[in-house]
Amino acid sequence: MLNDQIDNTEECPVVSSESEELKPSGTLRDEELFMTLFGNHPAIVLLVNPETGLVTDTNPSAADFYDLPVEHLLAMNMREIDATSWTRSESWLNDLAAQGQGRFVSMHRRADGSLRHVELSFAAVPLHGKTALLCIVQDNSERQHFEALTAFRLRLLELADTASTEELLTFTLDEAERMTGSTLGFFNFVTNDQAVLREACSTNAKTDNCGHAPHPTVIDFGVSTDVIHEMRAVIHNDHATLRHCDCKFAPHHKASRELIVPVIRNGKVMATLEIGNKPVDYEEDDIRLVSMLTGVAWDIIAKKYAEESERKTQEALQHTQKMELIGRLAGGIAHDINNVLTAILGHAEIVIDAMGGGSPYAENLRNIRDSTMRAANLIQHLLAFARKQTILPEVMELDAALGEQMPMLQELVGEQMQFLWRPGAGKTRIFLDPSQLDQIMTNLCANARDAMTGGGTVTIETATIRVEASDCYAGHPCQTPGNFATISVIDTGCGIEKSVRPHIFEPFFTTREVGKGTGLGLSTVYGIIKQNKGFLDCQSAPGKGTSFTLYLPLFENATVESGKKPADTETSIGTQKRILLIDDNPAIVQVIKSLLERSGYEVFSTTTPNEAIRFAVESVERIDLLLTDVVMPEINGKELSEKLLAFCPNLKTLFMSGYTIDMTTLDGAADHEIHFIRKPFRINELTQTISAILA
């Protein structure tokens, strides 16, 4: 500050006799001329000794400009005022003294330490046999700012063709910092409801949200409250005295001083630009300058942001549609293949049973059966992706359920890997099929293991989170608000390339060698999470590992009961039990009928629901069980079951399908217990299920 320098000036002490000597005298000291030149003239005028650099006289305009009393200016040397290299300035002064006049630009320091762009016009004047320099100072800061803003706008327009929104924002912040001498910058978007700040870009700062939501509300982000609510720029030159300083988010970046300027369009604050840590206090000139810069930048940035948002929305929509299309295709294929596998498996088991273990072909038949089951397992992965996997959900405590899996998962990962389990969800409950939880964790841990060929660490963490609507708007992975339990599986492996990440959940997509993987692991996880109304997020970079975070809705409905699974009972041979079998696939009807009759059941079979209804109406004997496919051309299995109950009130139903289903969609279909078996099934599985139902 100049005020501090005044009191400690040693290089250039005040020499009052010299000051008096270099002041104009005689006719030059005529009162009228003196008042014109030094008293009434609006120009900033200094009289300088070219040899010592001392200011020997000045006028009130100079005192106003430097914000110093005249007597203080007369105690100063030009090297205290000029902010450029004094060696360069001294050289200029010597040249000017020799040439008689001249002009150059420089930076002058005011009393508060702020710098101004100036143009100095010098003229040598003889005084008492010596040469003095008459210096007229012109403040060019506004012109410099205008030129800088013009250049900034042209450069921003040029960058907009190729740069991203973030790059444009960074360029804008850098320019705002440069123009004001600041060292800190933030650009925040404001949501339409004026309630949430979303940081879009920052420079030279690392925000700390104290463990709260990534996009704080305006009321929490106290330093911006006045800017948004009152729609005006705000200067905080003493951050410690702010009325919001005890807010949980403030001070959020250790700013000693800050200036926040709003971007206002159509009566709303669209964004805020914040700069901080200027060496001296911010002033109204800074507000005007930053406001002009922000106004120039916003329309360009907003257009670019809208274009990027539209592109991202279209890409997300196309990706969703592609995944849905693949899911429908996969589900349809899986349904048809399961029907084929059911027939193959059934016939294989009939032949195995008929030929006995002594047949030379017994081993071949068992291989056919086992291969069919492996194929069925692959189909289950496709069904999981298509969200058509059988669901028998149960209420479970997440940490407890995962804790039971840890020994198995640690063994899966391998001894050469470090395995960490960090439960953090407490007693949080979710509603999920335990087998699906097994599938999720097995696939994610296997994926993590395979990403770390040279060893590493697999970490499994759980937590709970509340997602607000504002978070969804701001880009949170959860697209609907609510309370969620999170499961994170983190590895320190090779990471995933950015170009690969959009495809990792697609079925059959894999980066492994041929024969090393099916490409169905992550697609299975995707399908399970979506089927259970959850969300998932992947964060990864090459060489920095990968983190998968799953969001599952908390269980908050006390009326929902856990899905019931058929008891694992011994096979019971049907005695005088009559089964009505219906499937629109004749091959399925044939093999299942044969299997059931070999187990001692009396079976009436058909391929059309109407014929099944006619049989039930005309039958004089009791029907004990309806074994029906779920998906059929005329009416579905659920509707058929409801119609038959009118004639057979004690009828029990076993649904079957290659299109596996959510059991909760069948619950409440009628006032009787619902059972389901997934195609393809082995004969023991079928007979055990029927025995349990009819017991």
Report the domain count for the chain.
5
> CA 104, CA 93: separation in Å to the nearest integer?
10
Domain for residue 389, yes or no?
A: no
Q: How many CB atoms lie within 10 A of CB 465?
A: 17
CA nearest to 189, candidates 172, 175, 204, 169: 169
Specify if 388 maps to a domain: no
Which pLDDT does position 577 carry in this prediction? 87
> Quick one: 262 and 274 in the same domain?
yes
Same domain (yes/no): 437, 491: yes
Residue with token string 């914000």: 67
Identify whether residues 23 and 45 lie together within a single domain.
yes
Sheet holding 234-236, edge to edge: 197-203, 184-190, 268-276, 258-265, 234-236
Rounded to 5°, the CA angle 551-556-559 comes to 135
What CATH number is attached to the domain comprising 82? 3.30.450.20
Cα–Cα dist 76/93, whole Å: 16
Integer-rounded Cα Rg, in Å, for the chain is: 41
Domain co-membership, 537 together with 407:
yes
Edge-to-edge strand ranges of the sheet holding 115-127: 55-58, 44-48, 130-139, 115-127, 101-109
Residue recorded with tokens 């300035």: 89
Residue 323 confidence (pLDDT)? 66
Long-range contacts of 414-418 (CB under 8 A, 24+ apart): 414/449, 416/455, 417/449, 417/452, 417/455, 417/456, 417/457, 417/458, 418/456, 418/457, 418/458
**Residue 479 domain-assigned (yes or no):** yes
Q: Do residue 318 and residue 447 come from a single domain?
A: no
**Tokens 């041979």 found at:** 573
If asked whether residues 354 and 323 sit together in one domain, one would say yes
The H or E element spanning position 117 is strand 115-127
40 DSSP assignment: S
User: Domain check: are 377 and 324 in the same one?
Assistant: yes
Q: Residue ranges of the alpha helices (H) in 463-608?
A: 469-473, 521-531, 586-598
Which of 297, 312, 327 delimits the end of a domain? 312
Separation between Cα atoms, residue 456 and residue 487, nearest integer Å: 20
Among candidate residues 108, 139, 170, the one where a domain is terminated:
139
Global pTM value: 0.46
Q: List the structure tokens of 349.
A: 């088991």
Do residues 271 and 170 both lie within one domain? yes
Unique residue bearing structure tokens 């006049």: 101
Q: Which of 99, 114, 107, 100 is nearest to 78 (CA)?
A: 107
The answer to whether residues 194 and 84 belong to one domain is no
Tell me whether strands 197-203 and 184-190 are parallel, antiparallel or unpaired. Answer: antiparallel
539 with 400, same domain: the answer is yes
CATH number at residue 358: 1.10.287.130
Residue 559 lies in a domain: no
pLDDT of 615: 87
Look at the block and give the residue holding tokens 């800017």: 227
From 312, 331, 366, give the residue that closes a domain.
312
Q: Are residues 323 and 214 in the same domain?
A: no
Q: Are residues 160 and 95 in the same domain?
A: no
The answer as to whether 569 is a domain residue is no
Q: What is the pLDDT at residue 4?
A: 46
- For residue 573, being part of any structural domain is answered with no
Q: What's the CATH code of the domain at 166?
A: 3.30.450.40
Residue 81 within a domain:
yes
Note the pLDDT of residue 660: 53
Q: Is residue 651 part of a domain?
A: yes
pLDDT reported for residue 108: 86
- Pairing mode, strands 394-397 and 268-276: unpaired
Domain extent for 86 = 2-139
Mean pLDDT per 10-residue section of the chain, whose length is 695 residues: 42 40 49 56 81 83 87 85 71 69 82 81 74 81 80 83 84 86 84 67 53 43 70 79 46 70 85 86 85 85 81 73 69 76 85 77 83 77 58 84 91 88 92 85 89 88 88 78 94 84 68 54 81 88 90 73 43 68 90 88 91 84 88 84 86 81 50 73 87 85
Three-state secondary structure call for residue 136: strand
